[in-house]
Amino acid sequence: MAQKAKFASKIGLVAATVGSAIGLGNVWRFPAEVQANGGAAFLVVYVLCVLLLGIPVMLAEFSLGRSAGTDAVGAYRKFSPRSPWWLAGALPVLASYLILSFYMVVAGWTLEYFVQSLSGALYAGTADASGAVLDGVFRDRMREYICGSSGPLLNTYALILLNLGVLLFGVRKGIERLSNVLMPLLFVLLLVFCGVSMSLPGAADGLRFFFAPDFSKITPAVVISALGQAFFSLSLGMGILITYAAYYPKKTRLMRTAVTVSLLDMMAAILMGVVIFPAVTSFGLGDAELEGTALVFVTLPEVFARMPCTQLWSVLFFLLLLVAALTSTVSIAEVSVSFVQNRFRRSRRAACLIVLLPLFALSALSALSFGSLSGLKLCGLVFFDFLDTLATNIMLPVASILLCLFIGWRRPGVLRGELSNYAEADHRLQRPVAFVLRWIAPALILIVLVSGLL
């Protein structure tokens, strides 16, 4: 059954696609990777990876999705019927669903911190008599909350219901309208924080670390990390871009869209770096841990506690984070919703319920895996970490490799026709894009896959 829904406008199309790419990975993973891999040297390699490799793979997903006009599994079936290639579409659908199950949990943590910032409870009792921030207080609070039972579970359920509400409205009235409002808001908030961060004393040192490259720090490990971050931040291999491209009008210029989405996604990551590094340097937190939950729920609250108008900045930041989380979870969920609609011929309402209701059980396992279910381990990992490792480090790279091989070798005519809008537009870049998809991207993604398993 072909997709009938289409994005209503070019702005909505770009906003929704950018919203699918910009997520928590841009907020916490990117600064962590920059800090761990040589600062500005990593930034340079990351930008090159996005432009030279990320965009071609994105174009492969766009071409497959729009040409087929259906979900990820149906797209492969359409161009390779009676063959096992449909499994290459099933893999990102499954991977995205596993990611959604634990991503809802992290989004729930964000909701909790947003609510606590609004009430002021997050900063109650965090300073001594002299007003100095107590060492370790935010780390203790993060650990206490994440390892709890009722709080993480209730907030996870709240995010599932919020996603359900958006998705039930469909592509135009739900996803597109949400993105049209939240994407501009996200960039406005980022720009506000950039202005505040750059006005702090000592901010120049943080900007120097982020923007003044020392090319001697570029090593093979840095290149692999930058490539992995580029693919992760663009949401490649998850089926999102195939699914969204099915909603693109035929007149949409895919090359222009891919470049626009990639540049805006890169801009969000870079703006986040401008927010983070001057702030932590200004308050003498340059050696602070910037990895994952520690960055968002420990280091930055400590930064806000040292700033005037603490509550205001904390509320705005966790609002920004909540926006990024919501646009990402909605996009990830849409992959499975589209699949159920098309493969099982269900209504939009039924598909949304089939996809999201099981998350009340599956996400609960992730939400409680640091607390009451911490003893439940798979391959030596708690349930949350197991899903993260399986989906992110294994399934997504494999799905991307299969996509490149399918479009680059088995069905190159799909790419050629879609990039040229079937002879209505210039397609001079089709050959270099096809070359990247055939030879370069699969080899480099394989290296990332192997390195992630070592």
**Has residue 312 got a pLDDT over 90?**
yes
Which helix or strand (DSSP H or E) is residue 118 part of?
A: helix 86-119
Question: Which phi and psi (to 5°) does residue 132 adopt?
Answer: -75, 145
Q: Looking at residue 125, what is its pLDDT? A: 86
Q: Is residue 453 predicted with pLDDT exceeding 90?
A: no
Is 427 part of a structural domain of the chain?
Answer: yes
Domain presence at residue 358 = yes
Tens-digit pLDDT profile for residues 96-135: 999 999 999 999 999 999 999 999 999 998 887 677 787 7
pLDDT at 287: 61
429 has a pLDDT exceeding 90:
no
pLDDT of residue 139: 87
Would you say residue 452 has pLDDT above 90? no
The pairing of strands 377-378 and 381-382 is antiparallel
pTM, two decimal places: 0.94
In this structure, how many other beta carbons lie within 10 angstroms of the beta carbon of residue 312? 13
> Does 114 or 3 have the greater pLDDT score?
114
418 within some domain: yes
Q: Which domain holds residue 77?
A: 10-453
Least trusted range by pLDDT, from 29-43, 60-74, 237-251: 29-43
With cut-offs at 50, 70 and 90, classify the pLDDT of residue 1: very low
60 contacts 415 by C-beta, under 8 angstroms: yes
pLDDT of residue 71: 96
Q: How far is CA 230 from the centre of its chain?
A: 10
Looking at per-residue confidence, does 182 or 26 come out higher? Answer: 182
pLDDT tens digits, 271-284: 999 999 998 888 87
Q: In this predicted structure, what is the pLDDT of residue 157? A: 98
Q: Is the pLDDT of residue 2 over 70?
A: no
What are residue 377's DSSP bridge partners? 382
Residue 41: its H or E element: helix 40-49
Contact 282, 70 (CB under 8 A): no
Q: What is the pLDDT of residue 4?
A: 64
Closest C-alpha among 262, 209, 216, 284 to residue 31? 209
pLDDT (average), residues 414-443: 86
With pLDDT > 90 as the criterion, what percentage of the chain qualifies? Answer: 77
* 100 inside domain: yes
Output the six-digit token pair for 419: 């990039």
Q: Per DSSP, what are the bridge partners of residue 381?
A: 378
How sure is the predictor about 363, in pLDDT bands with cuts at 50, 70 and 90?
A: very high
Structural domains counted in the chain: 1
Mean pLDDT, the chain, whole residue set? 92
Residue 38 in contact with residue 214, Cβ under 8 Å? yes
Res. 437: pLDDT tops 70: yes
Whichever domain contains 56, its CATH number is: 1.10.4160.10
The whole-angstrom separation of Cα 413 and Cα 258 is: 19
* 351 within 8 A of 340, measured Cβ to Cβ: yes
**What percent of the chain shows pLDDT beyond 70?**
96
pLDDT score for 25: 78
pLDDT of 286 over the 70 cut: no
User: At 299, is the pLDDT very low, low, confident or very high (cuts 50, 70, 90)?
Assistant: confident
DSSP H or E segment with residue 277? helix 254-282
Mean pLDDT of 182-204: 93
Angle between helices 177-198 and 203-211 (to 10 degrees): 120
Burial class (CB in 10 A: 0-12, 13-18, 19+), 183: buried
Place of tokens 């909605």: 330
Has residue 134 been placed in a domain? yes
Q: Where does the pLDDT of residue 288 fall: very low under 50, low under 70, confident under 90, or very high at 90 and above?
A: low
Instruction: Determine, yes or no, domain membership for 2.
Output: no
In a domain, 4, yes or no: no
Q: What is the mean pLDDT of residues 53-57?
A: 96
Residue 1: inside a domain: no
Q: Let me know if 446 is exposed, middle or buried by CB neighbors in 10 A (0-12, 13-18, 19+).
A: middle
| 144 pLDDT above the threshold of 50 | yes
